[in-house]
């Protein structure tokens, strides 16, 4: 019996990871996401990328006054590319402006070394910088004044105000490498995976638990999330064609061999079944990225909201 068969309680939260649109369309779409009952809206983050992207925290700040309920998340912010003090200041401001709705997902990145070059950050230091910067950001969110002595950041008696509305906004760790999983266990309030299969997802959660145990941390309140690339269509084959075409252009590589392994593809029933496999592997929170022509994104989200979400939320 799957979670879909039991149907006795909500079994997952759903956020939407939006693609890029002209401003008026972007804002209209995020308003509709809230109306449709999704729990959060998300953006990705790059300074330089294969395709145009808005700066992530600037975009979320633009969402704050036009939404009321949904959480505002970034998955994931490439923290190594920025000064952690500046990141702490921006995110604290964003949490205040949104009245406590920020979810701060961070990651290492690195697939595009030129991005590190243009930011003046050594590519080989990215993991160490993120690990330390997480602690810097939290210290500046929390302490008045804050003091920190690390490899990359050193300061005495510095305060960043105003503080976040949330004493410590949830900080989720993105990634699928062993280093990312260990970081999630040692430092994260949550974890976001991508391009993994349910079996590996469950194994990854075990590694996170092991890292948390070794660090003497409790995972009470920890959120296990998954960035799901979803294409809903009339049938699996047509949905697959769309999925492969869009993601191959987005990431400048051939996604055809990855569709069957990593795609959430097909009819609403087929997509729900594939999502349920992740739910049964331990996923509590889906970040849905509707893969298709941007002009069809709203229609895709309407279908997901009406035909997939109720299967996970019905009592």
pLDDT in tens, 40-79: 999 999 999 988 999 999 999 999 999 999 999 999 999 9
Residue 66 within a domain: yes
Q: Note the pLDDT of residue 280.
A: 96
- Name the residue range of residue 283's domain: 1-38+202-315
Identify whether residues 46 and 153 lie together within a single domain. yes
Do 116 and 15 fall within a single domain?
Answer: no
Same domain, 109 and 159: yes
Question: What pLDDT is stored for residue 69 in this prediction?
Answer: 97
Same domain, 64 and 132: yes
**pTM of the shown model:** 0.94
Same domain membership, residue 107 and residue 18: no
The per-residue pLDDT for 34 is 98
CB 284 within 8 A of CB 40: no
pLDDT at residue 225, as a whole number: 98
Collect the ranges in the chain with pLDDT lower than 70: 1-10, 314-315
Q: Is residue 185 part of a domain?
A: no
Q: How many domains does the chain have?
A: 2
pLDDT, position 4? 33
- pLDDT at position 11 is 73
User: What is the spatial distance between Cα 129 and Cα 77, in angstroms, rounded to a whole number?
Assistant: 13
**For residue 313, what pLDDT is reported?**
83
Residue ending a domain, choose from 169, 188, 219? 169
pLDDT score, position 111: 87
SS3 per residue for 36-69: CCCCEEEECCCCCCCCCCCCHHHHHHHHHHHCCC
Q: Is residue 186 part of a domain?
A: no
Assigned domain for 288 exists? yes
* pLDDT given for residue 250 in this prediction: 85
* pLDDT recorded at residue 315: 45
Nearest to 80 by CA among 33, 55, 47: 47
Residues 150 and 119 both lie in one domain: yes
Whether residues 160 and 43 share a domain: the answer is yes
Give the residue from 71, 131, 124 showing the smallest Cα distance to 95. Answer: 71
Q: Domain check: are 237 and 141 in the same one? A: no
Instruction: Tell me, yes or no, whether 68 and 92 share the same domain.
Output: yes
Residue 189 lies in a domain: no
pLDDT of residue 198: 98
Q: Are residues 76 and 124 in the same domain?
A: yes
**Distance between CA 90 and CA 96 in Å, rounded?**
10
Q: Which two tokens mark 94?
A: 């964003």
Looking at the domain assignment, is residue 254 inside a domain? Answer: yes
- Would you put residue 157 in left (φ > 0), alpha (ψ -120 to 50) or beta? left
Amino acid 6: pLDDT: 37
pLDDT at res. 9:
45
Sequence-ordered list of residues with C-beta below 8 angstroms from that of 2, at least 6 positions apart, any chain: 276, 280
Q: Give pLDDT, residue 82.
A: 97
Considering the domain architecture, whether residues 29 and 43 belong to the same structural domain is answered as no
Does residue 70 share a domain with residue 4? no
């Amino acid at each position: 019996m799957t979670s879909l068969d039991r149907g006795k309680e909500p079994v997952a939260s759903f956020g939407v990871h939006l693609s890029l649109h002209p401003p008026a369309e972007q804002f209209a779409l995020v308003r509709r996401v809230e109306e449709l009952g999704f729990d959060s809206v998300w953006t990705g983050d790059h300074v330089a990328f294969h395709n145009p992207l808005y700066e992530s925290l600037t975009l979320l700040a633009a969402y704050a006054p036009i939404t009321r309920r949904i959480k505002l998340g970034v998955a994931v912010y490439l923290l190594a590319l920025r000064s952690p003090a500046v990141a702490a200041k921006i995110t604290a401001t964003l949490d205040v402006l949104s009245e406590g709705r920020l979810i701060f997902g961070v990651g290492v990145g690195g697939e595009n070394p030129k991005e590190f070059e243009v930011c003046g950050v050594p590519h080989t230091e990215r993991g160490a910088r993120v690990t330390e910067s997480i602690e810097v950001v939290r210290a500046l969110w929390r302490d008045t004044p804050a003091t920190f002595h690390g490899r990359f950041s050193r300061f005495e008696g510095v305060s960043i105000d105003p503080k976040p509305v949330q004493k410590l906004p949830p900080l989720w760790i993105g990634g699928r490498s062993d280093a990312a999983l260990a970081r999630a266990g040692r430092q994260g309030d949550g974890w976001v995976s991508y391009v993994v299969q349910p079996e590996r997802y469950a194994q990854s959660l075990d590694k996170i638990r092991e890292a948390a145990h070794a660090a003497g941390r409790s995972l009470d309140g920890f959120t296990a999330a998954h960035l799901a690339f979803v294409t809903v269509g009339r049938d699996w084959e047509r949905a697959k064609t769309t999925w492969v075409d869009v993601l191959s252009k987005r990431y400048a590589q051939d996604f055809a061999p990855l569709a069957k392994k990593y795609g959430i593809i097909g009819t609403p029933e087929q997509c729900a079944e594939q999502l349920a496999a992740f739910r049964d592997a331990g996923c509590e929170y889906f970040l849905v990225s509707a893969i298709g022509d941007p002009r069809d994104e709203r229609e895709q989200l309407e279908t997901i909201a009406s035909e997939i979400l109720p299967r996970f939320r019905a009592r």
